[in-house]
Amino acid sequence: MRVEILCTGDEILTGKTINTNHSHIAQRLGEAGLEVCWGTTVGDDRAALLAAFRLAAARADAVVVNGGLGPTVDDLSQEVAAEAAGVPLVLHEPWLVRMEAFYARRNRPMPLNNRKQAMLPEGAEFIDNPIGTACGFAVAIEGTRFYFTPGVPREMRRMLDEQVLPRLLASSGLQGVTRLKRFHSFGIGESRADEMLAGIEAMAPGGGVKLGFQAHYPQLETKVAVRGADQDELDRKLAPIEAEIRRRLGNFVVAEDGQTLESVVLDALRARGGSLAAAETFTGGAIAARLLQVEGSEELFRRGLVSRNPGQLAAAAGTTAGEFSPPMARAVCLALQAQSGATHAIAVVVTMDAGTDRTDAGGAITIGLAEPEGIIVREARLVGGREWVRLGAVEMGLDCLRRHLLGLPTDERLDFERR
């Protein structure tokens, strides 16, 4: 089934807001096995919206419309949808009641404007919005089904997954339920991961499995979209595929689904009753920031030090040491471990190539990791300019911790590494 995505709103058209809704909707449709055939963006303009509806109706089997459902006069989606469908707008009484209750719970009177949000094209199918005042709806325009969703990303995302996708799948004749399994890896590039996972899609008898990659340097996300008749079939299909992906990507998988590398590190630390301190240089405190953004990390992460000056960093950790080097990283993490009382202390020091920044500039990274039984030192060289090296060093530091805490080798070669 060929689906068009139609985004409306002056903020999107004029570029004031980046259109992340298109990419989210398109990804979710693709993962469910639907083909996105066209994308249209128009402003809050009656004639443009009407023309866009007519063109999309002629082109696509179904259309997902986003935006234009708000309470203000420039929100035109319901009104123009009714015009295009050749029907009047009528009050959807249950939604008006819901909105009034929504405002009553907040002890505020409902503004008169909001009544507009309960006016839907006659005969439209109501689509619930459990978390906002803009309900969605579906209506046929020139024989093509249009699904209307609000522009607020949080509301759109929930309605898309819970209400629009199931309707699209049902009308497309595709099997009814889908699931998305995600693996986050560090250390392998997209083309190598693609090679490593050759033949994975074909493992499912009868098909319905789609593999995709999304690179967010330094991590790579591997997505497996599965379609099946029901949840049981999804479980049966996915289990051997999940296991095989874990086996093939091996130690490079740092997290799955909603986990993050930093949450995995903290969970492993918590499981062994540990605690952590970190000393950073060129990474500017980003390792501490990543860890401290996880809720509950404050009990595990004792302290972080950051300086680009070797003397200052060593002094802050309570030691003396020379220039940034492997012995210096070793001295600093041991001193920091003693000083903070943490079971584990990591020091990540980076020496960038001399000269101005350029895309082939590299950096020598040394990670010192003091743990209760001893100390590990990992050295690496990354290339790709200052920002690339900085991001890679942050990830290497966190990944080195993860590997050590989980009993995995800390010296496995990364695709990004130069030796």
Among 110, 160, 241, 305, indicate the residue that binds a second copy (CB under 8 A). 305
Residue 210, phi-psi category: left (phi > 0), alpha (psi -120 to 50), beta (remainder):
beta
Residue 298, SS3?
helix
User: Is residue 304 near a second copy by the rule CB under 8 A?
Assistant: yes
Residue 252 one-letter amino acid: F
Among 189, 250, 285, 362, binds a second copy (CB under 8 A): 285
User: Measured from the CB atom, is 290 or 378 closer to a second copy?
Assistant: 290
CA–CA separation, 186 and 104 (whole Å): 49
* Residue with Cβ nearer a second copy (69 or 288): 288
- Asked if residue 222 binds a second copy (CB under 8 A), the reply is no
Interface segment toward a second copy; rule CB under 8 A; list 24-32, 76-84, 141-149, 233-241: 24-32
Binding of residue 191 to a second copy (CB under 8 A): no
Cis peptide, bond prior to residue 372, ω within 30 of zero: no
Cβ proximity to a second copy: between 115 and 270 the closer is 270
Cβ atoms of residues 171 and 62 within 8 Å: yes
Asked if 289 interacts with a second copy (CB under 8 A), we say yes
DSSP element (H, E) containing 312? helix 310-317
**DSSP output for 353-404:** PSSS--TT-EEEEEEEEEETTEEEEEEEEEES-HHHHHHHHHHHHHHHHHHH
**By the rule CB under 8 A, 20 interacts with a second copy:** yes
Q: Is 41 in the site for a second copy (CB under 8 A)?
A: yes
Interaction residues for a second copy, span 48-77 (CB under 8 A)? 48, 55
User: Which helix or strand (DSSP H or E) is residue 256 part of?
Assistant: strand 253-256
Residue 15, interface with a second copy (CB under 8 A)? Answer: yes
Q: In 3-state terms, what secondary structure has residue 35?
A: strand
By CB under 8 A, residue 189 contacts a second copy: no
- Rounded to whole angstroms, the Cα distance separating 350 from 345 reads 17
Q: Which is nearer to a second copy, 14 or 231 (CB)?
A: 14
Q: Least distance (Å) from a second copy to the CB of residue 401?
A: 16
Please give the residue ranges that form the binding site for a second copy (CB under 8 A). 7, 12-20, 22-27, 30, 36-43, 48, 55, 212, 214, 282, 284-286, 288-289, 292-293, 295, 297-298, 301-309, 312-313, 315-316, 339-340, 357
